[in-house]
Amino acid sequence: MGSKMIRSKITTSLLSLCITASLSTIAGAQTFRWAPPASVATMDPHASGDTTTRNILINDYEGLVRLSRKAELEPELAVSWEAVEPTVWRFKLRPNVTFHDGSPFTADDVVFSFKRATASSSDIRSKLRAIKEMRKVDDLTVDAITHAPNPILAQGVLLFMPILSQEWAKKHDAMDPADNRRTGKENYATRNANGTGPFKIVSFGVDGRIEMVPNESWWDKKEYNFNKVIISPIASDATRVAALLSGEVDLITPIPQQDVPRVKDSKDFQILTTPDARVVYLGMDQWRDELKESNVKGKNPFKDIRVRQAFVKAINMDLIRSKILMGAGLPVYAMIPPQADGWTDAFRDRPAADPAGAKKLLSDAGYPNGFSVGMDCPNDGLANMGEPVCVAITGMLARIGIKVDVQLQKQAMYAGKIGRRDTSFYIHSWGATTLDALATMGSTMVTFGDGVGTWNVGGYSNPEFDRLVAAAESEMDRGKRRDMMTKALSIHRDDVGTIPLYQPVLTYAARSNVTIVPRLDDAIQLRWVKFK
Amino acid sequence: MAAFIVRRIGEGLATILVVALIAFALFRYVGDPVMSIAGPDATQSDRDELREQLGLNDAVPVQFIRFVAHAAQGDFGFSYRSARPVSGLLAERLPATIELVAVGATLSLLLGTGLGIVVALKRKSALARSILTVSLFGVCLPTFVNGIVLIYLFSVTLHWLPSFGRGEVVPVGGWTTGLATWSGLRSLIMPGITLALFQLAMLIRLVSSEMTDVMQTDFIRFCRARGLRRGSILFRHGLRNAMMPVVTVVGLNIGSVIAFSAITETVFQWPGMSLLFIDSVRFGDIPVMAAYLVLVATVFVLINLTVDILYFFIDPRLRLAPATAAAQGPANG
């Protein structure tokens, strides 16, 4: 700032501009400014299933439970919980909590929030499917009744249920989430927030800019030291980095990998990283009798495990992680990250890259000259790594005679194609948002049917695997349950049901004068932010 | 003139309808909104139900007719992402785009005319040559490069101007303006210049060649012979005649400027309609995309119409021509 002042003295014509710049730097001590790539879709936490939206709104709306700095479950609006029956979890609620509008938090609000979050216009209702109903026991006690015994209800389900005030919703005619269907109407909750959390949203601009101020009557101990938060979304990577470098924001999420070295070398800035609770993997159609996009007719080469094993051996992940991901990918060879329950360290071991062995496996399977196959890949997804990773894999597979026809698509289009199982070979990623293997297995690995295996796009099916998952689902003993999950994951791994590639790393950049704790669900908890 | 305008409006409406049809057809291939809305945890039956509610199961012509019927009443439905009315979303974003485009177009017109005259009058000078050379960068460099270079120079290095956003805006009726505050004006400078640059080089060349042509015509020579002042010859007689094609080009180009503003808005995180469009492409937000394209088509049509009408006022010959022809008709016959 000294040099800035000197310059302003010398160049009088620039005086006013420099003063403005200096003032904004001083104000930075009390205002925390954060630039994510996108803003919230809506202020209504039940109206959107969007992760970006959730990760911003958790600073205003709280749930019954939350994740600690170490991503362990801890009480939030509930103080304790226990299973009173296999299908009934009883939650004791935190007393003397008020919403931002001053109305008291009680069991009625929990019951109401469950109803609202499972209304037909809610976009988060599928996350809450495990719960049949919520019942008020007394003002500070609620029962969650589940369809089947559920040992991890709190972390698996209730982590995703923001609590709204019934009184407030009634007063503003926002009893249901705004409906984005044909008959829909916007409602008060779309642009106004009223949670119990550490920060109150005071404005939501046309440009997606959000301003928050501290909630002075928050129930928990305040650790942050600023009195205002400004969230300004910046979609363009280059502009977001420039905004940090010019001192206009204190934190950007994420920073593109190629800009990391430049920012790292400056003493004014720091790079923050955390493993993402996610695994990027390749899926192969193993259920159709003939692949939709291949020159092999009359049979499906992916049904032969030797072909799948050949693919594993052909792909040199060490090379991809060091040269393409440049450190933004950690080694895993299982469908869950190490942070999820069900993990064992053996899940890091990947068969060594061995093109010759891969070629032999292909010949044994009857494809000495390889074959061609289409591959679906998002060019703007997987943290922008989808395209380079797919292209690298194409090159590696070409060496064993597999001609991959990469179809790069916009994320929105790709997600639709994959979701309809209209694919032969694809890259995908799955987040273990509940930090438990079962959700991942239930969605991406069990034999698909209605409501189960929805994202088991490749159609992997093994009765033994399904049996273990079913047994684990209602096993109330955490140790036994964990063993079952680990065993099931090992089976899937031995079957090469998918080809896990890597665990992504979330990379942020911030000014050095601020302490930020990144979390593996990509959420920024503003209550953990502190200026030094 | 009335018949002429009516005919033009009819053609314009047809154009808009065709754009709507193309947009509608294209968007069936940009992605599946059901996937984006329902999220990864949704079951197949959730998705089917949503598809039904969104009317995506109806025949395509039915969907199109419904879209046009609603659009004609200004109703573009609800955004899939924010669940808010699309018309409202666009209306909120309109002022930012209009102000940016107005500033960009004005800057390019003023600079283009001024520099164009300099080049026309001092064709051989070093100044004229350097103007022509430097202005070439404007066309040669892609808009996003221009924008990023400006940001790194004026925001990151010099800390003079904000790198993103619109600054502080003031609501005026249903409009929001950044022209009334210091931070709003500062925020407009770089995006405005970036947007102006792309047609500046072309305008300089156009103005200078038109001016050169006009200044060599007989009537300018007569003006000189009558002893009119140099300034008067230059601006009242010369420039005025040279401006005809310039205004046409600027007018017709406003459509392109709006289209180019998509890149400028992305680089500077300028909260206009184009940025909304870019964001909605990412999410597969079809109602927003369709409405934006129809709106841009409408703007193009309106611009062409306005330019046609402006001709009547700038060029007296056009105004008089039909009347003169009518008056002379019988005499000639």
Residue of B123 and A241 predicted with greater confidence: A241
User: pTM (2 decimals)?
Assistant: 0.85
Please judge whether B30 and A186 are an interchain contact, meaning their C-beta atoms are less than 8 angstroms apart. no
What pLDDT sits at residue B1? 65
| Residues 85-104 (B) with a CB less than 8 A from some CB of A | 85, 88, 92-93, 96
What pLDDT sits at residue A22? 40
> Long-range contacts: B294-297, Cβ < 8 Å, 24+?
B294/B16, B294/B19, B294/B20, B294/B23, B294/B71, B294/B76, B295/B90, B296/B255, B296/B258, B296/B259, B297/B15, B297/B16, B297/B19, B297/B20
> Long-range contacts: A343-350, Cβ < 8 Å, 24+?
A343/A437, A343/A486, A344/A486, A346/A490, A347/A489, A347/A493, A350/A312, A350/A317
Helix, strand, or coil (residue A240):
helix
Residue pLDDT, tens place only, B210-228: 888 888 888 888 888 888 8
What pLDDT sits at residue A29? 52
Mean pLDDT, rounded, for B186-205: 89
Nearest alpha-carbon partner for B202 in B329, B81, B290, B111 = B111
Q: To the nearest whole angstrom, how far is the Cα of A236 from the nearest Cα of chain B?
A: 6
Rounded to whole angstroms, how far apart are CA atoms A110 and A44? 16
Tokens at residue A418, please?
A: 């994959």
Within A100-165, where are the H helices?
107-117, 153-156
Rounded to whole angstroms, how far apart are CA atoms A112 and A165? 8
Mean pLDDT, rounded, for B16-39: 77
Please judge whether B284 and A413 are an interchain contact, meaning their C-beta atoms are less than 8 angstroms apart. yes
| Residues 61-80 (B) with a CB less than 8 A from some CB of A | 77-80
Q: Which residues contact A38 (CB under 8 A, 6 or more apart)?
A: A52, A208, A233, A235, B279
pLDDT at B270 over 90: yes
Weakly modelled stretches of chain A, pLDDT under 70: 1-29, 180-185
What pLDDT sits at residue A293? 94
Nearest alpha-carbon partner for A380 in A209, A277, A508, A235 = A235
Decide: A309 and A353 in contact? Cβ < 8 Å.
no
Rounded to whole angstroms, how far apart are CA atoms B66 and B13? 17
Q: Kindly indicate the confidence band of residue B319, based on its pLDDT and cuts at 50, 70 and 90.
A: low
Decide: A529 and A514 in contact? Cβ < 8 Å.
yes
3-state secondary structure chain B: CHHHHHHHHHHHHHHHHHHHHHHHHHHCCCCCHHHHHHCCCCCHHHHHHHHHHCCCCCCHHHHHHHHHHHHHCCCCCECCCCCCEHHHHHHHHHHHHHHHHHHHHHHHHHHHHHHHHHHHHCCCCHHHHHHHHHHHHHHHCCHHHHHHHHHHHHHHHCCCCCCCCCCCCEEECCEEECCCCHHHHHHHHHHHHHHHHHHHHHHHHHHHHHHHHHHCCHHHHHHHHHCCCHHHHHHHHHHHHHHHHHHHHHHHHHHHHHHHHHHHHHHCCCCCHHHHHHHHHHHCCHHHHHHHHHHHHHHHHHHHHHHHHHHHHHCHHHHHHHHHHHHHHHHHC
> Best mutation site among B28, B30, B34, B35 for testing chain A: the one with the most A CBs within 10 Å?
B35
Which domains, from first to last, does chain B contain?
2-72 (no CATH), 87-318 (1.10.3720.10)
Exposed / middle / buried, residue A24 (Cβ in 10 Å: 0-12, 13-18, 19+):
middle
Please judge whether B160 and A14 are an interchain contact, meaning their C-beta atoms are less than 8 angstroms apart. yes
- Residue whose token pair is 């992402």: B81
Mean pLDDT, rounded, for B107-128: 87
Decide: A390 and A375 in contact? Cβ < 8 Å.
yes
Rounded to whole angstroms, how far apart are CA atoms B316 and B307? 15
What pLDDT sits at residue A127? 84
Chain A to chain B Cβ contacts (< 8 Å)? 185
Average pLDDT, chain B: 82
Q: To the nearest whole angstrom, how far is the Cα of B294 from the nearest Cα of chain A?
A: 20
Q: To the nearest whole angstrom, how far is the Cα of B155 from the nearest Cα of chain A?
A: 6
Q: How many CB atoms lie within 10 A of CB B16?
A: 20
Please judge whether B36 and A412 are an interchain contact, meaning their C-beta atoms are less than 8 angstroms apart. yes
Q: Does A387 touch chain B (CB under 8 A)?
A: no
Decide: A127 and A160 in contact? Cβ < 8 Å.
yes
Nearest alpha-carbon partner for B33 in B74, B70, B77 = B77
> Best mutation site among B35, B70, B82, B157 for testing chain A: the one with the most A CBs within 10 Å?
B82
Q: Does A42 touch chain B (CB under 8 A)?
A: yes
Rounded to whole angstroms, how far apart are CA atoms A397 and A358? 9
Tokens at residue B61, please?
A: 């012509």
Strands A31-35 and A228-231: parallel
What pLDDT sits at residue A10? 38
Q: Kindly indicate the confidence band of residue B331, based on its pLDDT and cuts at 50, 70 and 90.
A: very low
Helix, strand, or coil (residue A420):
coil
Q: To the nearest whole angstrom, how far is the Cα of A117 from the nearest Cα of chain B?
A: 13
